[in-house]
């Protein structure tokens, strides 16, 4: 187990290093300097001083080392387009909000997805099954930004819910629904199919023969095993929720990290793009690592220390 | 007590019935014929298939059905509701939404199909070699995949687009850079299973080259999972294109793509011009739905274990 953790940690560090290097290479390969904008009509000396301030006059190797240092010390430097803010300021302001939005979304998606999936499996081929699976297919098919706009049009324009901003729990309702529907649908489908499989197994028959109540069988015996695949896809779902926050925050004007990220892309604010990308990637990679660990702990049958383990 | 013998007269000599022996209880079907038969029986998957065929037809001929051009602005006629003149209404610049919707379909289908094709070629070659060679080669190739798999897909795509600049070609390149990993894993897994079968050994003993064995023996037997994976890649790519266009990194306005149209419509829906959003939104969703149900249907149809 310990060996496995170290191996995974090693791969994780390499992945983050690749992301960091990739962002660096991509950013230096952009032609021109961010201050070389013909519209601004900038004085030559002013431009050189500005470039000096952002170390843009140094050779690539030195800039790369400085950049690695800034990543290790988690200090991404000042923003170019918002001179009063450092990248860390933006992250510090935006991350708690995005994190809150993401966590609420995951909770809603997991809980409602499991309930929907279990109900569909218990009443297999019944009305509830068809309804749940229709919801699930719709949820997978409708992109989150389309859903968000539809929700605004139907529920916010006439004043039932606020259209924008992030102030009270009521403000959370629409963004969370828009973000959670897709992951919920995936969880529901997965839970349904594994649940159907588990319910035909011998130990469930045994529990039934013992005279356990149907609810006890479902909750205590079947659900536990049916939920393992859900744990496996948590990593992928986290990634999709995270990228989903970019558009959702843009649409609902939520002052989270995604909004700064999209803004920085549109303004070509390279320090902010680099900082947020590295931060997002590192966050996601660490989460994936934790999900994998949780999986190994939850399912005793998984021998993760086995050599050349083929995860499929 | 002695065991009682079954008396001989209980047995009856049965004549060999030549007629019955020769009748074929069900028609002999090849793998693909059988898969097709099962797919046709799946109503949801067929709905998806029919929708996609219609959509492809409209993407080709739809823009020619109207007298309007995609990007011609007609400001006096902005925000016209759907009518006999403009079937889907007009948008904020007076452009015909019907014409733009089918142009958007062209972009979406093109991006989706190209992404799936590139995934197919790269994934099959990479996965095929890793699975067939095995050993050291496999080990190294899988390590690379493991690292690529850990990279957040859309973030990498966004980074690439920031640098390459947004255009149709760069979107397809960016989507393909990491998209093939899933396909490579599936092909490798299948090849690993198949390569020890006897028909492969037979080919090897005839002196067939690696490439020939992969192409002639291994690939045809993996086609099922590969096709399913391709049908499921398409909606992912279509979603990614719409998503990127929506945050301003994809196809640029004035060119029409469903993501661009939805982005343009964002300001308009608060004032009640629902049609500018409804049509692109409906077609993105329904196209993704169609590919998803078709993929599910193919998965059931191409799985020999589910044969009835």
| DSSP letter for each residue of B161-175 | HHHH-S-HHHHHHHH
Task: Return d(Cα B140, Cα B134) in angstroms, integer.
Answer: 10
**A266 interaction partners in chain B (CB closer than 8 Å):** 248
Residues of chain A with pLDDT under 70: 30-43, 47, 51, 53-57, 156-157, 159, 161, 163-167, 299-312
The DSSP-derived string for A112-174 is HHHHHHHHHHHTTTSHHHHHHHHHHHHHHHS-HHHHHHHHIIIIITTTSS-SS--SSHHHHHH
Q: Which helix (DSSP H) or strand (DSSP E) does residue B307 occupy?
A: none
Burial of residue B119 (number of CB atoms within 10 Å: 0-12, 13-18, 19+): buried
Q: What's the confidence (pLDDT) of residue B10?
A: 84
Q: Report CB contact under 8 Å: A142, B285.
A: yes
Rg (CA), chain A: 24
Q: By C-alpha distance, which of B213, B270, B274, B283 is closest to B242?
A: B283
Please say whether the beta carbons of A285 and A16 come within 8 A. Answer: yes
**A152 interaction partners in chain B (CB closer than 8 Å):** 269-270
Q: Residue B149: closest CA among chain A residues belongs to which residue?
A: A15
B contact set with A (CB within 8 A): 139, 143, 146-147, 150-156, 158-160, 162-163, 185, 189, 192, 235, 239, 242-243, 246-249, 262, 265-266, 269-270, 272, 274, 277, 281, 284-286, 288-289, 292-293
Task: Tell me how close the Cα of B37 comes to any Cα of chain A, in angstroms.
Answer: 23
Rg (CA), chain B: 27
**B159 interaction partners in chain A (CB closer than 8 Å):** 22-23, 26, 273, 277
**A137 interaction partners in chain B (CB closer than 8 Å):** 289, 292-293
Q: Which of B134, B154, B155 to mutate to test the interface with A (most CBs of A within 10 A)?
A: B155
**B249 interaction partners in chain A (CB closer than 8 Å):** 265
CA angle A100, A104, A109 (to 5 degrees): 145
Three-state SS at B202: helix
Q: Report CB contact under 8 Å: A280, B274.
A: no
Q: Report CB contact under 8 Å: A22, B153.
A: no
**Integer angstrom CA distances of residue B11 from B7, B15, B20, B202:** 8, 13, 21, 47
Q: Digits of tens for pLDDT over chain B (308 positions)?
A: 667 788 888 888 877 777 777 777 777 777 777 778 888 887 888 888 888 888 888 888 777 777 667 666 666 666 666 766 666 667 666 677 777 888 888 888 888 888 889 988 898 888 888 888 878 888 888 888 877 777 777 777 887 887 777 788 888 888 888 788 888 888 888 888 888 888 888 888 888 888 888 777 787 778 878 888 888 888 888 888 888 887 777 777 667 788 777 777 776 666 667 677 778 888 888 888 888 888 888 877 777 665 55
Q: What's the confidence (pLDDT) of residue B93?
A: 66
Q: Report CB contact under 8 Å: A30, B163.
A: yes
Q: Which helix (DSSP H) or strand (DSSP E) does residue A125 occupy?
A: none
**A273 interaction partners in chain B (CB closer than 8 Å):** 159, 162
- The neighbouring-strand residues paired with B90 are B96
**A134 interaction partners in chain B (CB closer than 8 Å):** none
Task: Tell me how close the Cα of A211 comes to any Cα of chain B, in angstroms.
Answer: 33
**A30 interaction partners in chain B (CB closer than 8 Å):** 162-163
Give residue for tokens 């859900």.
A230
Q: Residue A136: closest CA among chain B residues belongs to which residue?
A: B289
Peptide bond into B257 cis (omega under 30): no
Q: By C-alpha distance, which of B144, B212, B134, B214 is closest to B178?
A: B144
Q: Report CB contact under 8 Å: A288, B150.
A: yes
Q: What's the confidence (pLDDT) of residue A108?
A: 92
Task: Tell me how close the Cα of B61 comes to any Cα of chain A, in angstroms.
Answer: 25
**Integer angstrom CA distances of residue B119 from A230, B126, B179:** 26, 10, 6
- The neighbouring-strand residues paired with B96 are B90
**A193 interaction partners in chain B (CB closer than 8 Å):** none
Q: Report CB contact under 8 Å: B160, A308.
A: no
Q: Residue A189: closest CA among chain B residues belongs to which residue?
A: B296
**A250 interaction partners in chain B (CB closer than 8 Å):** 247
Three-state SS at A78: strand
Question: Which two tokens mark B37?
Answer: 């038969």
Three-state SS at B266: coil
Please say whether the beta carbons of B138 and B130 come within 8 A. Answer: yes
Three-state SS at B7: coil
Q: Report CB contact under 8 Å: A145, B262.
A: yes
Burial of residue A274 (number of CB atoms within 10 Å: 0-12, 13-18, 19+): buried
**Integer angstrom CA distances of residue A96 from A99, A103, A258:** 5, 10, 11
Task: Tell me how close the Cα of B178 comes to any Cα of chain A, in angstroms.
Answer: 13
B207 in the Ramachandran plot: left (φ > 0), alpha (ψ -120 to 50) or beta?
left
Task: Tell me how close the Cα of A11 comes to any Cα of chain B, in angstroms.
Answer: 7
Question: Which two tokens mark B70?
Answer: 């995609």
Provide the ipTM: 0.73
Please say whether the beta carbons of B212 and B203 come within 8 A. Answer: yes
Backbone angles phi, psi at A242, to 5 degrees: -60, -50
Task: Return d(Cα A226, Cα A199) in angstroms, integer.
Answer: 9
Q: Report CB contact under 8 Å: B243, A143.
A: yes
Q: Report CB contact under 8 Å: B151, A15.
A: yes
Of B152, B162, B235, the CB nearest to A281: B152
CB under 8 Å to A222, separation ≥6 — which residues?
A: A195, A198, A199, A204
**B147 interaction partners in chain A (CB closer than 8 Å):** 11, 14-15, 18
Instruction: Measure CA B11 to chain center.
Output: 60
Task: Tell me how close the Cα of B147 comes to any Cα of chain A, in angstroms.
Answer: 6
Q: Residue B291: closest CA among chain A residues belongs to which residue?
A: A141
Predicted TM-score of the model (pTM): 0.77
Task: Return d(Cα A297, Cα A110) in angstroms, integer.
Answer: 20
Question: Which two tokens mark A100?
Answer: 């809150």
Q: Residue B262: closest CA among chain A residues belongs to which residue?
A: A146
Give residue for tokens 């934790």.
A290
**Integer angstrom CA distances of residue B274 from A139, A152, B105:** 21, 11, 20
Q: Report CB contact under 8 Å: A15, B270.
A: no
């Amino acid at each position: 187990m310990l060996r496995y953790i170290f191996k995974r940690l090693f791969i994780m560090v390499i992945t983050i290093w690749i992301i960091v290097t990739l962002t660096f290479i991509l950013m230096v390969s952009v032609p021109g300097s961010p201050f070389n904008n013909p519209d601004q009509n900038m004085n030559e000396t002013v431009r050189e001083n500005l470039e000096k301030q952002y170390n843009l006059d140094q050779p690539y190797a030195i800039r790369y080392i400085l950049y690695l240092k800034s990543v290790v010390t988690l200090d991404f430097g000042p923003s170019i387009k918002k001179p009063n803010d450092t990248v860390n300021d933006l992250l510090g302001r935006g991350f708690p909000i995005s994190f809150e939005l993401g966590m609420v979304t995951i909770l809603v998606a997991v809980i409602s997805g499991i309930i929907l999936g279990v109900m569909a499996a218990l009443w297999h081929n019944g009305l509830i099954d068809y309804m749940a699976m229709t919801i699930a297919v719709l949820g997978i098919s409708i992109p989150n930004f389309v859903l968000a706009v539809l929700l605004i049009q139907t529920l916010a324009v006439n004043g039932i819910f606020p259209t924008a901003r992030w102030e009270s729990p009521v403000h959370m309702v629409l963004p969370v629904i828009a973000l959670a529907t897709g992951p919920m649908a995936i969880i529901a489908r997965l839970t349904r199919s594994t649940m159907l499989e588990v319910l035909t197994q011998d130990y469930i028959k045994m529990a039934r023969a013992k005279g356990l109540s149907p609810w006890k069988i479902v909750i205590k015996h079947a659900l536990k095993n049916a939920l393992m695949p859900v744990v496996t896809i948590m990593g992928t779902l986290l990634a999709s929720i995270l990228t989903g926050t970019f558009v959702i925050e843009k649409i609902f004007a939520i002052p989270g990290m995604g909004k700064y990220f999209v803004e920085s892309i549109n303004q070509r604010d390279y320090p902010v793009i680099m900082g947020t990308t590295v931060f997002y990637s590192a966050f996601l990679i660490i989460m994936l690592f934790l999900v994998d660990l949780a999986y190994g702990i939850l399912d005793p049958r998984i021998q993760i220390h086995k050599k050349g383990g083929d995860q499929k | 007590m002695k065991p009682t013998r079954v008396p001989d007269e209980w047995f009856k000599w049965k004549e060999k019935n030549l007629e019955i022996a020769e009748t074929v209880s069900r028609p002999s079907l090849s793998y693909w014929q059988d898969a097709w038969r099962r797919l046709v029986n799946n109503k949801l998957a067929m709905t998806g298939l029919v929708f996609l065929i219609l959509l492809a037809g409209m993407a080709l001929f739809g823009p020619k059905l109207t007298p309007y051009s995609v990007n011609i602005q007609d400001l006096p006629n902005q925000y016209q509701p759907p009518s006999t003149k403009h079937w889907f209404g007009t948008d904020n610049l007076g452009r015909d939404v019907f014409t733009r919707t089918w142009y958007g379909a062209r972009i979406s289908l093109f991006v989706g199909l190209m992404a799936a094709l590139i995934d197919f070629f790269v994934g099959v070659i990479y996965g095929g070699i890793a699975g067939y060679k095995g050993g050291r080669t496999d080990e190294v190739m899988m390590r690379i995949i493991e690292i690529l798999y850990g990279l957040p897909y859309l973030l990498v795509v966004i980074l690439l687009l920031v640098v390459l600049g947004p255009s149709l070609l760069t979107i397809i390149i960016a989507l393909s850079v990491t998209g093939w990993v899933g396909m490579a894993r599936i092909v490798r897994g299948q090849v690993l299973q198949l390569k020890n079968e006897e028909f492969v050994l037979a080919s090897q003993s005839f002196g067939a080259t690696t490439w020939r064995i992969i192409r002639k023996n291994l690939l045809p037997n993996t086609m099922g999972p590969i096709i399913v994976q391709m049908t499921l890649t398409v909606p992912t790519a279509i979603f990614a294109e719409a998503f990127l266009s929506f945050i301003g990194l994809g196809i640029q306005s004035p060119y029409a793509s469903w993501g661009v149209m939805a982005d343009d419509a964002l300001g308009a829906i608060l004032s009640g011009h629902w049609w500018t959003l409804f049509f692109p939104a409906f077609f993105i969703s329904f196209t993704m739905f169609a590919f998803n149900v078709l993929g599910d249907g193919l998965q059931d149809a191409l799985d020999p274990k589910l044969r009835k």
